[in-house]
């Protein structure tokens, strides 16, 4: 008797990524690598040096006359070809691809030069003369929200473009009946996440068809495609948008490329040639996009046993100078989970959207989660401290119970599945929490500064497109067509020789999607993942896509991957129907494996996969009655759990919800204020893990971003709106050496909302890690509150007090010729081209400090932070 056939499984296995060889060897093709026509011209932009100013005049005559310059384009020129971009907030605020009449942030583009090459274009930019009338800026969001602030958009009544209040349950009653009200104010900073590859756009206008053909490293969501089409005054078919097979990181940042897509499309039309633009790093830091900084006032209604019965949240989000679609997403994508991972039935939320003279905010990894969870987890920590309870006990007390799933949160999110308490138990045991607490006790006994922090996060993934309409009242929504749900698309094809290819609607950004697609298709068709070709490019004129397409909200495993599986099953079913008559068995007994299609009970009764596939191409007349020829199957996955906001403004903002609990031990250097992560544990329940290696990498990336937010990254603006973070010397991005590896743990509770059971996991740690570290610092220093990033200078000031300013002027002893006993004094400075931590290390190490003091022969330490140096000074022509 033949042994029963056991199909080979690939989904769930730690298969190495098929993309990595090309990526690591530099063989992958990015947007800048795609061939351009020989007559392609190149663009450069003049950007505003002022945060707020009227454009009095622009003189482009000298620039336009330079040899090699094709054309010089201003905002007035662009207005002839485009309309302002659409936005959901109905306010008299017009966003154009180039500034019109006024500039509103440092780095705003106001003139575009198209030339034979980039060098000529950059030179021409330097010859453009602009006269500005500088206006008072509004940089601080609280000031911008006040009546005293200048108005950023002169046609608007104020800088507050939206002010909505929401009430769920009975928050007033909860606060009246609670034992204690715990309040905190959070000022979460503006930051970004800087991909290795900047924006790239290559546009070619075809006048005969009236079509703009654009290649760009755009990541979606493709809801922005109709926004661009409307701006360009064309139907959707009038903008052919193509994305490359590889993109060097997205993280939400590459959504905001769309104004440049429209700008280069218009430039191509004006120039009569293809136009290419590659963003430089200064442009990217100053002008691309940033996560909105947020001011949050949060109150928790707490009982003496640690139970929290209500939240009050007042959130002021700073969206910079303009709202760019899909803003104001960060306020509303997280709206359904405003109570975090907790069973808190009573909730009041006030959401305000304010404009300031900063670069426009946009999608950044976590998309509103880091800001919201920083407030929630800080106040939960504070509840524990004020009630003299263990912070982890307070978390446990309030977590959604295992028997409550599917859990309906106060604001509408439907947590699909999980066992949060079990994840905490696993983390405590396998993450060795007892050892961390013991280290803290030992460190404190020795006089060292050590703290332990916790954070619990429910991670929403696979966004409901309807969430953004929560910004509208129910009356306003009633006047519109409903917006809700999401589609995911995929295609699986087999060629005449049995070659299998697949594609989906997600541009790759380095997450390993091709590997997962290959695993899924190979498992269905009985092949090896290496035999599957994954086409990762998207072409809106040829490929299946919808406005929900794109790489965002960690949607791949719960959306496009499902569509891939559906298409692969459809292909398997068709091939089984072709093979069954030849195998003389019922269709349901046909199996696939080892490159063969065979009878389940008699594997020797088999056909080669490629021969069955060839039948559909070479002999379509022999196919079963009613079957179409060819082998190409497309599927669309539309989950039904995502609906529009109801009349009470409740909305299930995402399809699936993962969970992670983090805890860490940190030690603070007493002298420098440096925060060192001693031990970090993050435990996840992201449903079914499709590939453990890829999951591990995604969590590491999210965790690294979280560490960076906690310790390093911040966009800094002066009061006049000057941008102070325009280089990586000023905007600190950690390398691998600054990010200690965490302990990563998993528990798998499959989601009932997706056929694969998977949930996203790529954003959880950028929500949990910043506040987990901040809670540990507050524990270490016994602080009520602290704001990230936790620079050594900030921590040192908390330990030692603010550093005293240097004397305004050094005293100088008057000297007379011939008086050998007169003193000569000298002053000066030495620049250390290094990051702040290296500077601190230099100042505290006598050998390193001596090396950077000009003329220093020796340096002796006479007391703590007190040195005596032997230094040679030059006095006029005499060297002493």
DSSP string, 120-176: HHHHHHTT-EEEEEE-----SHHHHTSTTSPPSSTTSSSSEEEEEEEEES-HHHHHH
What is the C-alpha to C-alpha distance for residues 668 and 687, in angstroms, rounded to an integer?
Answer: 36
Domain assignment present for 306: yes
What single string gives the DSSP state of each residue in 751-770? Answer: -TTSTT-B---SSHHHHHHH
Domain residues for 523? 487-535+551-637
In DSSP terms, 314 is beta-bridged to 297, 350
The structural domain count of the chain equals: 4
Strands 160-168 and 109-115: unpaired
Write down which residue in 736, 764, 798 finishes a domain. 798
DSSP assignment letter at 530:
G
What is the C-alpha to C-alpha distance for residues 538 and 214, in angstroms, rounded to an integer?
Answer: 11
End-to-end CA distance of the chain: 101
620 closest CA partner among 572, 574, 569: 574
Provide Rg for the chain, Cα atoms. 30
Is 398 in contact with 319 (CB distance < 8 Å)? Answer: no
What single string gives the DSSP state of each residue in 393-425? Answer: HHHHHHBPPGGGPSEE-TTS-EE----HHHHHH
Residue 618's CATH number:
3.30.365.10
Residues 460 and 319 in one domain: yes
Is 732 in contact with 713 (CB distance < 8 Å)? Answer: yes
761 closest CA partner among 624, 662, 660, 619: 660
For 694: left if phi > 0, alpha if psi spans -120 to 50, otherwise beta; the answer is: alpha
Strands 346-354 and 211-216: unpaired
What is the C-alpha to C-alpha distance for residues 278 and 270, in angstroms, rounded to an integer?
Answer: 19
Query: What backbone phi and psi angles, to 5 degrees, belong to 620?
Result: -65, -25
The model's pLDDT over 461-499, given as tens digits with 9 standing for 90+, comes to 999 999 999 999 999 999 998 889 999 999 999 999 999
What is the C-alpha to C-alpha distance for residues 361 and 374, in angstroms, rounded to an integer?
Answer: 19
182-203: buried (b, 16+ CB within 10 Å) or exposed (e) per residue? bebebbbbbbbbbbebbbbbbb
Domain assignment present for 23: no
Give the count of alpha carbons within 13 A of 567, CB side only: 31
Residues 574 and 620 in one domain: yes
Residue 119's CATH number:
3.90.1170.50
What is the separation of C-alpha 704 from the centre of its chain, rounded to a whole number of angstroms? Answer: 12
What residues contact residue 809 under an 8 Å CB cut-off, 6+ apart?
A: none
User: Which contacts (CB < 8 Å, 24+ apart) does range 79-82 have?
Assistant: 81/232, 81/233, 81/266, 81/269, 81/270, 82/231, 82/232, 82/233, 82/262, 82/266
SS3 556: coil
Residues of the chain with pLDDT under 50: 1, 810-823, 875-880
Write down which residue in 263, 288, 313 finishes a domain. 288
Residues 270 and 411 in one domain: no
Domain assignment present for 580: yes
Domain assignment present for 152: no
The model's pLDDT over 179-190, given as tens digits with 9 standing for 90+, comes to 999 999 999 999
What is the C-alpha to C-alpha distance for residues 869 and 846, in angstroms, rounded to an integer?
Answer: 10
Domain assignment present for 865: yes
Residues 626 and 652 in one domain: no
Query: What backbone phi and psi angles, to 5 degrees, belong to 783?
Result: -100, 145
Residues 673 and 629 in one domain: no
Is 727 in contact with 282 (CB distance < 8 Å)? Answer: yes
Residues 584 and 672 in one domain: no
Greatest alpha-carbon pair distance for the chain in Å reads 118
What residues contact residue 208 under an 8 Å CB cut-off, 6+ apart?
A: none
142 closest CA partner among 290, 286, 293, 291: 293
SS3 298: strand
Within 10 angstroms of residue 586's Cβ, the number of other Cβ atoms is 11
Within 10 angstroms of residue 566's Cβ, the number of other Cβ atoms is 21
In this predicted structure, what is the pLDDT of residue 818? 46
Within 10 angstroms of residue 126's Cβ, the number of other Cβ atoms is 12
Residues 832 and 769 in one domain: no
Residues 677 and 746 in one domain: yes
For 712: left if phi > 0, alpha if psi spans -120 to 50, otherwise beta; the answer is: alpha
For 656: left if phi > 0, alpha if psi spans -120 to 50, otherwise beta; the answer is: beta
Residues 270 and 390 in one domain: no
On the question of a cis peptide bond just before residue 69, with omega within 30 degrees of 0, the verdict is no
Is 667 in contact with 449 (CB distance < 8 Å)? Answer: yes
Residues 96 and 217 in one domain: yes
Rounded (5°) CA angle 120-123-128: 120
What is the C-alpha to C-alpha distance for residues 601 and 591, in angstroms, rounded to an integer?
Answer: 9
Residues 269 and 413 in one domain: no
What single string gives the DSSP state of each residue in 173-186? Answer: HHHHH-SEEEEEEE
What is the C-alpha to C-alpha distance for residues 875 and 854, in angstroms, rounded to an integer?
Answer: 14
Domain assignment present for 27: no
Write down which residue in 752, 772, 798 finishes a domain. 798
Kind plus residue range of the DSSP H or E element containing 271:
helix 258-271
Domain assignment present for 456: yes
In DSSP terms, 459 is beta-bridged to 658
Is 424 in contact with 399 (CB distance < 8 Å)? Answer: yes
What single string gives the DSSP state of each residue in 564-631? Answer: HHHHHHHHHHHHHHHHHHHHTS-GGGEEEETTEEEETTEEEEEEEHHHHHHHHHH-GGGSPTTPPSS-
112 closest CA partner among 153, 156, 63: 63
Dig out the tokens for 500 from the structure: 């299998």
What residues contact residue 749 under an 8 Å CB cut-off, 6+ apart?
A: 417, 418, 419, 685, 687
Residues 577 and 563 in one domain: yes
Return the sign of the alpha-carbon dihedral for residues 390, 393, 397, 400: positive
Dig out the tokens for 865 from the structure: 């932070």
168 closest CA partner among 315, 336, 373: 336
What single string gives the DSSP state of each residue in 213-239? Answer: EEEE-----TTHHHHHHHHHT--GGGE
Domain assignment present for 173: no
In this predicted structure, what is the pLDDT of residue 876? 44
496 closest CA partner among 354, 619, 638: 619
Q: Residue 113 burial (CB < 10 Å; 0-12/13-18/19+)? A: buried
């Amino acid at each position: 008797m033949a042994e029963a056939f056991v199909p080979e499984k690939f989904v769930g296995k730690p298969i190495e990524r098929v993309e990595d060889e090309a990526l690591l060897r530099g063989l992958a093709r990015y947007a800048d690598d795609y061939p351009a026509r020989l007559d392609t011209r190149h663009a450069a932009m003049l950007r505003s040096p002022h945060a707020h100013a009227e454009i009095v005049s622009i003189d482009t005559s000298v620039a336009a006359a330079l040899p090699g310059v094709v054309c010089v384009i201003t905002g007035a020129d662009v207005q002839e070809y485009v309309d302002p971009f659409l936005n959901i907030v109905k306010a008299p605020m017009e966003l154009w691809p180039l500034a019109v009449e006024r500039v509103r942030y440092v780095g705003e583009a106001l003139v575009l030069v198209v030339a034979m090459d980039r060098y000529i274009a950059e030179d021409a930019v330097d010859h453009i003369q602009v006269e500005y009338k500088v206006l008072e800026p509004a940089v601080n969001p609280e000031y911008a929200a006040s009546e005293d602030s200048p108005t950023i958009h002169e046609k608007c009544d104020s800088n507050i473009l939206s002010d909505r209040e929401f009430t769920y349950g009975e928050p007033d009653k909860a606060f009246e009946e609670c034992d204690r009200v715990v309040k905190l104010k959070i000022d979460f900073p503006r930051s970004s996440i800087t991909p290795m590859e900047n924006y790239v756009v290559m546009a070619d206008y075809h006048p005969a068809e009236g079509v703009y053909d654009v290649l760009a490293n755009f990541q979606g969501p493709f809801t922005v495609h109709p926004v661009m089409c409307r701006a360009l005054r064309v139907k959707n078919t009038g903008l052919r948008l193509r994305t490359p097979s590889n993109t060097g990181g997205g993280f939400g940042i590459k959504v905001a490329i769309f104004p440049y897509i429209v700008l280069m499309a218009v430039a191509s039309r004006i120039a009569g040639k293809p136009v290419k633009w590659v963003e430089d790093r200064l442009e990217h830091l100053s002008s691309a996009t940033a996560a909105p900084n947020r001011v949050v006032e949060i109150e928790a209604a707490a009982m003496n046993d640690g139970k929290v019965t209500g939240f009050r949240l007042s959130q002021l989000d700073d969206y910079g100078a303009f709202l760019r679609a899909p803003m104001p997403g960060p306020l509303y994508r997280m709206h359904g989970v405003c109570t975090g991972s907790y069973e808190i039935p009573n909730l009041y939320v006030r959401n305000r959207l304010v404009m300031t003279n900063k670069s426009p905010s946009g999608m950044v990894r976590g998309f509103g989660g880091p800001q919201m969870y920083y407030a929630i987890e800080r106040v939960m920590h504070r509840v524990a401290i004020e009630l003299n309870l263990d912070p982890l006990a307070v978390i446990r007390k309030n977590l959604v119970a295992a028997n409550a799933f599917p859990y309906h949160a106060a604001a509408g999110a439907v947590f699909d599945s999980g066992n949060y308490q079990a994840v905490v138990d696993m983390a405590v045991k396998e993450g060795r929490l007892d050892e961390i607490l013991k280290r803290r006790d030992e460190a404190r006994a020795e006089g060292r500064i050590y703290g332990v922090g916790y954070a619990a996060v429910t991670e929403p993934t696979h966004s409901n497109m309807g969430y953004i309409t929560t910004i509208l009242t129910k009356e306003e929504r009633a006047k519109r067509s409903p917006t809700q749900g999401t589609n995911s698309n995929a295609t699986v094809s087999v060629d005449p020789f049995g070659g299998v290819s697949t594609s989906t609607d997600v541009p790759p950004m380095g997450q390993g999607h091709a590997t997962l697609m290959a695993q899924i298709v190979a498992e269905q068709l009985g092949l090896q993942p290496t035999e599957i070709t994954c086409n990762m490019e998207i072409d809106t004129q040829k490929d299946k896509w919808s406005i929900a397409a794109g790489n965002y909200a960690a949607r791949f495993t719960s959306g496009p991957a499902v569509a891939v599986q559906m298409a692969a099953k459809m292909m398997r079913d068709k091939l089984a129907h072709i093979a069954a008559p030849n195998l003389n068995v019922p269709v349901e007994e046909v199996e696939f494996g080892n490159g063969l299609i065979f009878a389940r009970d008699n594997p020797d009764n088999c056909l080669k996969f490629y021969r069955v596939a060839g039948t559909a191409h070479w002999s379509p007349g022999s196919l079963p009655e009613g079957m179409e020829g060819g082998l190409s199957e497309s599927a669309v996955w539309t989950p039904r759990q995502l609906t529009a906001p109801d009349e009470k403004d409740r909305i299930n903002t995402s399809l699936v919800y993962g969970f992670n609990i983090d805890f860490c031990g940190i030690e603070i250097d007493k002298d420098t204020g440096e925060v060192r992560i001693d031990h970090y544990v993050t435990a996840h329940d992201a449903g079914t893990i499709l590939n453990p290696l890829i999951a591990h990498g995604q969590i590491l990336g999210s965790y690294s971003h979280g560490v960076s937010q906690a310790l390093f990254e911040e966009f800094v603006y002066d009061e006049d709106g000057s941008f102070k973070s325009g280089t990586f010397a000023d905007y600190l991005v950690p390398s691998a050496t600054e990010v200690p590896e965490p302990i990563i743990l998993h528990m798998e509770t499959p989601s009932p909302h997706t056929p694969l059971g998977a949930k996203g996991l790529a954003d959880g740690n950028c929500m949990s890690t910043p506040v987990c570290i901040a809670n540990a610092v507050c524990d270490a220093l016994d602080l009520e509150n602290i704001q990230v990033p936790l620079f050594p200078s900030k921590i040192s000031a908390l330990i030692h007090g603010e550093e005293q300013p240097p004397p305004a002027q050094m005293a100088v002893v008057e000297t007379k010729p011939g008086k050998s006993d007169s003193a000569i004094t000298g002053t000066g400075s030495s620049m250390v081209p290094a990051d702040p931590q290296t500077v601190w290390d230099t100042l505290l190490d006598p050998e390193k400090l001596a090396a950077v003091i000009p003329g220093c022969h020796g340096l002796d330490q006479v007391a703590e932070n007190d040195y005596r140096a032997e230094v040679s000074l030059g006095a006029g022509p005499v060297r002493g």
